[in-house]
Structure 1
Amino acid sequence: MDYEIGHKTFVFERRCEAPVTSVFKAFADPVIRAGWSAPSDDAAFVYTAADFRAGGEDHFRCGSLENPQYTGRTTYISIVPDELVVSAEIVEAGGKKLMSSLITTELAADGDATKVKMTVQVTSLFGGRMISGTEIGTNAALDNLVEYCSLGRFLERR
């Protein structure tokens, strides 16, 4: 058997010190999104194609800076500006599918800030390693998003 199935659902919640329209833009703009998506300074996250619309697809590479060995495809299922993004994602390496996920991101105004709730339903074909990587990477990326918004960096790319 070349695979070990694992499943997990994660719910991540953050509060961004920026208006909903700015946080949505941080998801919608692939240049901005790539800036906060890499989980650490020694990780790479590069979009090779981006089409942020319902039915659109993003293609990306990620991994270490020296070797972004993972490739992925995100398909956008539903987008409601300033409120909701639902997408499906597949990640591969060396021609093998490693995991797939269904991601639901909800945005809600909280005064001048934004509450972000992201539900990630993961199916790993390689057991716990891809599941723990999803949890660690998503937590780090959302922490980066919070920092990005709190520093007002979204203003730099208007």
Structure 2
Amino acid sequence: MASIAHDTLTFSQSIDAPRSVVWAAIADSVQRTVWGVPAGEAQVYDESDFRVGGRDVYRCGPPETFEFSGVAEYLQIVPESLIVHTDVVAVEGQILAVALLTWQFETQNGATRVQLTDQVTSFVGTDMIDGHRNGHTKALEQLRAFVEG
């Protein structure tokens, strides 16, 4: 039997830019491929449909293999305020983790505060939980640098 692990992870990032600019960087899959993965890795979208009921189908990992595949399904989108979506990550058809992600955006002192809550279940132990923690931390830092840069 697989080793099940789960956690609720929360992250926040203050970005010195209007919500409309931060929102555009998140809503647009082309921009997401720039800031959304750690250095040395890449992401490509085979499908991108950012709307309630839409879904993104993507591959990510080292650019020579793109070993991970994923599907994000959008459950709720309130422009410049809220995104709720699921995310399923697999390798060669084996599901590694399933997550429910909630992105919240608010203006604070002229900057945009992004809060991300990731409720993740891993079917392969705690490494996927650690991967979510490290990946989201880096992605939010890179989002800030991308938008402010």
- TM-score normalized by structure 2? 0.97
Which of 49, 54, 57 is the matching residue for 2:52?
A: 54
The whole-number CA distance in structure 1 between the counterparts of 2:109 and 2:30 is 27
Query: Which residue of the partner structure matches residue 32 of structure 1?
Result: 31
The whole-number CA distance in structure 1 between the counterparts of 2:78 and 2:31 is 19
Counting only pairs closer than 5 Å after superposition, residues 101-120 of structure 1 correspond to structure 2 as 101-120=99-118
TM-fit CA distance, 1:49: 0.7
The whole-number CA distance in structure 2 between the counterparts of 1:11 and 1:118 is 6
Name the aligned partner's letter for residue 150 of structure 1. E
Which of 136, 139, 142 is the matching residue for 2:140?
A: 142
Question: Match of 1:147, SS?
Answer: helix
The whole-number CA distance in structure 2 between the counterparts of 1:36 and 1:55 is 24
TM-fit CA distance, 1:112: 2.4
Name the aligned partner's letter for residue 12 of structure 1. F
Q: Which runs of 5+ in 1 are unaligned?
A: 152-158
Counting only pairs closer than 5 Å after superposition, residues 82-93 of structure 1 correspond to structure 2 as 82-93=80-91
Question: Match of 1:140, SS?
Answer: helix
Query: Which residue of the partner structure matches residue 121 of structure 2?
Result: 123
The whole-number CA distance in structure 2 between the counterparts of 1:51 and 1:91 is 18
TM-fit CA distance, 1:137: 0.8
* Matched positions, count: 149
TM-fit CA distance, 1:108: 0.3
Which of 32, 40, 43 is the matching residue for 2:41?
A: 43
Name the aligned partner's letter for residue 110 of structure 2. D
Name the aligned partner's letter for residue 118 of structure 1. L
TM-fit CA distance, 1:44: 1.0
TM-fit CA distance, 1:126: 0.3
Percent sequence identity over matched residues?
Answer: 38
Which is further off, 25-34 or 79-88? 25-34
Runs of 4+ in 1 over 4 A off after TM superposition: none
Name the aligned partner's letter for residue 11 of structure 2. F
CA contact (8 A) 1:39 1:138 kept: no
Question: Match of 1:136, SS?
Answer: helix
TM-fit CA distance, 1:111: 2.9
